[in-house]
Every structure is written in C-alpha cells, then in structure tokens.
Structure 1
Amino acid sequence: MVHGTHNAIEDSRNKDILISINDELCHRSEAKISVFDSGYLVGDGVWEALRLHDGVLVFLEDHLNRLWQSAKVVGMALPFSKKELEDKIWDTLKANQMTDGVHVRVMITRGIKKTPSQDPRLTITGPNIVIIPEYKTASKDSKDNGITLFTSTVRRGSPDYLDPRLNCHSKLHEVQALIQAIEAGADEALMLDVNGFVATCNATNFFIIRDNQVWTSTGKYCMNGITRSKVIQICNDNNIDCLEKDFSLFDVYGADEAFVTGTFGGLTPVTKIDGKIIGKGAYGALTKRLSNLYEDLIRKTINDGRG
C-alpha cells in the first residue's frame, strides 16, 4: 500500500464520478483526450488542486490567483474569467452531487497540436480544460505515524530555467526524485536547491522546528504552496517565530520536529530523514498545534464562505 502525504482512504463512490472535459461531462471510464494534446505531447499545461469542505471551496481565491499567474508565465491566454472557471467547477461538483470531502483537480493545457511539436504556433485549438473531482480523505495513518524522507540527488531548478513556483505539467524531475526516495525505502523525497540548501519535497513544502522556532526555505526554490503560506500566516498571527531562511541538512538532522504541507494532507509530520530519527520520531507538540490552527483556519474560511 502506498504510504505518504497523498495516501487516501478508498471510496467506492469514485468509480462513477463524472469528469468535465471542455464543459462536457464524461463517466470516469470514458474520460479521454487527444494524443495530440499539448499536455500529453510536451507537458505544456498548468493545473490547480482544491478542497471542497462543507460546500465551500477552501482558499479558492488563492488557488485561482496562482493558476492565472502560472498561465501568464507560460504565455497561455485563458479564454474565460476566474468567475467563469469557478462556475465550471461548481457545475461539475453539482453534476456529481458533491458537497464535502472532495479533492478537485483542474488541468488546463495549451490545446491540440496539428503535429507532435514543442512549437506553440502549431496549436490548432484553444486551451483544453479538464476538471476531475474525487472523494478523497487523507489517511489518518500518515497523520498519526508520520512519513519518512530521503534526500534526492535531483535538485530543485533555478528560477532562470524552470521556476519551482510554477504549477505546470512538467513534473519529471520531481518524479525522478520520488523514485530515488522510494528505492531508498522512504515515503517521499526531500530536495535541495542549486546551492545545496534545503528547498522542498517532491510534492509538498518542508518545515523544521528548532527550539520552538519554525523554519522553512526562503521560497526562491520551492513550490508556491498555498498551505505553506497559510502556515506562515498562522505563525505570524499566533506569535510563533517563523523564519524563511537558508538552512542545510546539518540543521535538519538536528531538528526537534519536522513536517510537510500540502492542499490534500494539510500538515503531515516527518519522523525520519535519510535514516536519521527526527526529534523523538513522533508527531511533535508544536506540529500538532500548528495543524490544529490550520484546521481552525479552514473552519473559519468555511463559515465566512457561507456568510
């Protein structure tokens, strides 16, 4: 069984979900897109993942802003507004009669190519948009027992060739890092930046706690995580020291606690890195407090969304 931050509880309702492809609803088993799609051919696309809790798409504005920024960076003109995309998402959720415990993946590619090629001028359609909603609840086992990491030799890219903050379909370097970690017996990969400092994980953002201070990377070489930003906000709002700084594996191995953040799993504790036990090798007290504060923020967001 897969163990990690994306480990979800099996839900039989997902067998019959309807997926939106360019505003047409298809049964999961019939959801298809052309082999000439830009995303399939060259990874030319951007994406977002959102959570539906109690009828509210949590942190929707943050996610849409990040999606539009990613599209602008890659030169992809989106032929709809943020409100129109929100409506598309809600139409898909309503068609599936979904109200809670749902993970929504929105994927937008540049469109269909006339022939296999990198050249965007050979795109003969507008962007393709796919919306996949699934019932997904994070496994309690990952939260309670934590995950293990292995430091990959695959580095996070420099912003001058593939900015790590870009939520794009080109994820092969992260897949390579994860494969190394799995082969080393770990759950997920820790990735360093081009200068050898700790950057992020293959699919989540990384934090350590030392002497009741929360440390995370500078943000120059890590994913532009919404949950990461919310944890930093929570620390600032609750007088918890939070430093965005360069730090190395020397600091990581001596940390009192460590955790990762992501839209799906929230905060997940890390118990071991490169075979070394972190702190007491258990879900730490400050990590638990931050996780509870994050859940409180989600509940507040839900209440505000209903108001």
Structure 2
Amino acid sequence: MGGPSRIGGEVGTIGGGGVAFLQFFRAQGIVCFAQLYPACFGGRGAGGHGSEQSVHAGVGGGRRVEIVVNIDGKICWGEEGRISVLDHGFLFGDSVYEVVRTRGGRLFCFPEHLERLRYSAEKIGLRLPLEGEGWRREIRAMLEWSGLEVDVYIRLIATRGVGELSLNPFSCVRPSYILIVAPLPVYPRRYYTEGCRVELTGVVQPFYGGGGSNIKSGNYLHHVLALREAKRVGAVEGIMRNVEGYITEGSTSNIFFVRGGILRTPALRCGILAGITRGLVLELAEGLGIATEEVEVGVEDLFAAEEVFITSTTKDIMPVGRIGERRWGVGPLTRRLMEAFEAGVERHLMEI
C-alpha cells in the first residue's frame, strides 16, 4: 500500500494520518497506553496479525505501530492508509463521524453514538455504508488484526465518497467508510484531582438552524481554531461563543458550571452539539436530586461560577481549574458527579 491507490477511477494518495493523530494527542499532554505499556505492542511477523491471508486486506511489518485504520474493509497501519484526493470528505468535509471508546474491552455508550451518527447522516442526506452490527464487525476485525489488548479510541467515519471536483454531492458514486482505532488517550491525573486549564477563545461558532448544530460532521475548522488558540497559552480546551456572545462548547467537549447549588450548561438552542457524556451527566444529576438548567450562559456567568467542568467521550468528567486568571478547585458537586459517573459505567457497556 506504499504507492498510489486507484479509487473510483482517480489516482491519489493521502498518508501520514496515523502520525498526525498521535501528534494531536501528544500536543494536549496526553499519554497513549502504547507508551505506558510497550509490551502490548510487540512486533508482528509476516505470518501473524496483518497477514495478507486475512479476510481484511492489510499490511504487517514487524514494527510497533499504534494506530490501525480500516478503509472500506481494508485494514492497515495508520501511516499506510490511503484515500482518493477526490473524496468529498477530504475536499469539503462532506462526512459525518463519531468517537467511541472501550472500557475493559467493551464498547461504552455505543447505541447512543450510533444513533447520533444516523441522525447526522440523515440530516446531510448521506446513506451510511454500514449499520450497527457492520460497524461492530469491522471493529472486531481491526482489534484481531492488530493484536491491541488495551482500551481503545475508535473513530467511525462515513464520507460522501469520490466525486467530481465540485461541491455537487450527487457526483459521488457511493459513500465510503473509515474506522480509526488507537490506544485510548490517558490524560494527566492532576487534571482530575486539581482541574485542567481551558481558555475562553475569540472563535465565534456559526449557528446552523434546523438542528444543524447537532450534526457531527467532518467540517471542524472552528473547533480546530479554538484549540489552536488554547494551545498557544497551554490550555487543554478552547471555549467558543456564538454570534450573540453566549458560551457554547469546547473544541472537543461540553461545558458545565455550578452556581448556587444549581448545575448549568449551555442549552442546545445556543448552537451546541448534544454530547453523549453531557446527556449522561444531566441524567446522573437528576438521579442525585441536583437541580439542573440548560440556559444561555454569558461570560460573566461562567466567571462567577463556584465550580466548572467539561465532558467528553475521552475525558469523561474533567474538572476545570483555570480559565484565564480565574481559578477553581474541584468542588463537591463535581466530585459527586464524577463518583456517580464511574459507578454507573457498567450499565452502558456492551460487547464488541
């Protein structure tokens, strides 16, 4: 798979995805399990994992590689993955995706992620090339092929596919699917015991009416710019605002804050993604008898908060210890929710 690949009658290659993926995690101060436990990622011989005789075509190699990709059923190491340069997902961000993780080797909140993937695809008129069991089958094949024996980060992507060099979606013959599996990122423990740093950025998040803000698409430029701004000052996440000046979400997370014993978070109408972990936290709060409000959040509201935390699939509930010069500790309500979240994990797990 080292040379150009011909897809849909067009020649083009895009490689290095695995390297970029790792660089993104490391830029955030994240340690991969592969670095903590290198023995889990021994060499693969020609007759072992990744053999050409496997059902899914792939590339072995006898060296340690941390990222595995699956492009329309063909499995290989991350840096060897190739798609056409005329794929509309690459050209225009015409794609949808989800990030799923495993816990103890089982999928966490998989039905919820799959339902949101279906919703996103339906909203942009994209036919998903795989359904529930199909995605799980591909994940199983990738884990068997790679020999990964740690908890993993899984990205499910569906693109419009190869088409003309124009925005016209009807020029794409068939959709493509891509899966990326990597060791689950591990954030520094101090982020959970002392709080992480996030930054309020100058990025204004566009608002798409008709539920468009809840589409998890490949067009993430505003989130990239927010994270770029945050990284320049050493923060983990960049917080964005909408055109009215209200707080929306982080570059890869939702945000919550506590004031007067009430748990508040930006409302969906502010133009945010309905995060899966965000939904779990709201359910947990209700079960614990904690009052919640989904509201419009001004900058002054955020800085007047008594506790702040962010949520995401890979971060779970992560306390915020600093925004700009404003500092917080890890508050009692945040701790209660963190404990309840861990205690309730089991009921959201399913076999791969």
Structure 1-normalised TM-score?
0.89
* Cα offset, 1:162, TM superposition: 8.6
* Cα offset, 1:246, TM superposition: 1.4
Contact 1:101 1:137 in 2 (8 A): no
Kindly provide the amino acid, as one letter, of the partner of residue 118 in structure 2: W
Corresponding residue of 1:166: 215
* Cα offset, 1:56, TM superposition: 1.6
Q: How does 1:280-299 map to 2 (within 5 A)?
A: 281-299=328-346
Q: Deviations over 1:143-197 (max 9, x none)?
A: 2332222222222221239932111000001111222223345332111222222
Corresponding residue of 2:291: 241
Corresponding residue of 2:347: 300
* Cα offset, 1:82, TM superposition: 2.2
* Cα offset, 1:45, TM superposition: 0.5
| Secondary structure at 2:229 match in 1 | helix
| Secondary structure at 2:202 match in 1 | coil
Corresponding residue of 2:52: none
Q: Deviations over 1:58-100 (max 9, x none)?
A: 1111000000000011110123332222222222223234454
Distance 1:69 1:130 in 2: 18
Contact 2:112 2:276 in 1 (8 A): yes
RCO comparison, higher one (Cα < 8 Å, 6+)? 1
Distance 1:300 1:16 in 2: 29
| Secondary structure at 1:199 match in 2 | strand
Contact 1:156 1:193 in 2 (8 A): yes
* Cα offset, 1:248, TM superposition: 1.0
Distance 2:347 2:131 in 1: 26
* Cα offset, 1:227, TM superposition: 0.2
Q: How does 1:174-193 map to 2 (within 5 A)?
A: 174-193=223-242
Unaligned runs of 5+ in 1: none
| Secondary structure at 1:164 match in 2 | helix
Does residue 217 in structure 1 map to residue 242 in structure 2? no
CA spacing shift, 1:66–1:161, aligned 2, 3 Å:
closer
CA spacing shift, 1:16–1:149, aligned 2, 3 Å:
closer
Unaligned runs of 5+ in 2: 1-25, 42-63
Distance 2:176 2:136 in 1: 16
Corresponding residue of 1:120: 169
Distance 1:22 1:177 in 2: 32
Does residue 147 in structure 1 map to residue 196 in structure 2? yes
Kindly provide the amino acid, as one letter, of the partner of residue 288 in structure 1: R
Does residue 94 in structure 1 map to residue 141 in structure 2? no
| Secondary structure at 2:317 match in 1 | strand
* Cα offset, 1:203, TM superposition: 1.1
* Cα offset, 1:236, TM superposition: 0.8
Kindly provide the amino acid, as one letter, of the partner of residue 118 in structure 1: L
Does residue 81 in structure 1 map to residue 106 in structure 2? no
Structure 2-normalised TM-score?
0.78
**What's the Cα RMSD here?**
2.1
Kindly provide the amino acid, as one letter, of the partner of residue 179 in structure 1: R
Q: How does 1:46-85 map to 2 (within 5 A)?
A: 46-85=96-135
Q: Deviations over 1:238-274 (max 9, x none)?
A: 1111111112111111111100000001011111113
Corresponding residue of 1:129: 177
| Secondary structure at 1:57 match in 2 | strand
Corresponding residue of 1:2: 27
* Cα offset, 1:49, TM superposition: 0.7
Contact 2:190 2:196 in 1 (8 A): no
Kindly provide the amino acid, as one letter, of the partner of residue 258 in structure 1: V
CA spacing shift, 1:170–1:230, aligned 2, 3 Å:
same
Distance 1:162 1:69 in 2: 10
CA spacing shift, 1:161–1:189, aligned 2, 3 Å:
farther
| Secondary structure at 2:333 match in 1 | helix
CA spacing shift, 1:216–1:176, aligned 2, 3 Å:
same
Does residue 40 in structure 1 map to residue 87 in structure 2? no
CA spacing shift, 1:24–1:262, aligned 2, 3 Å:
same
Larger Rg: 2
Contact 1:9 1:138 in 2 (8 A): yes
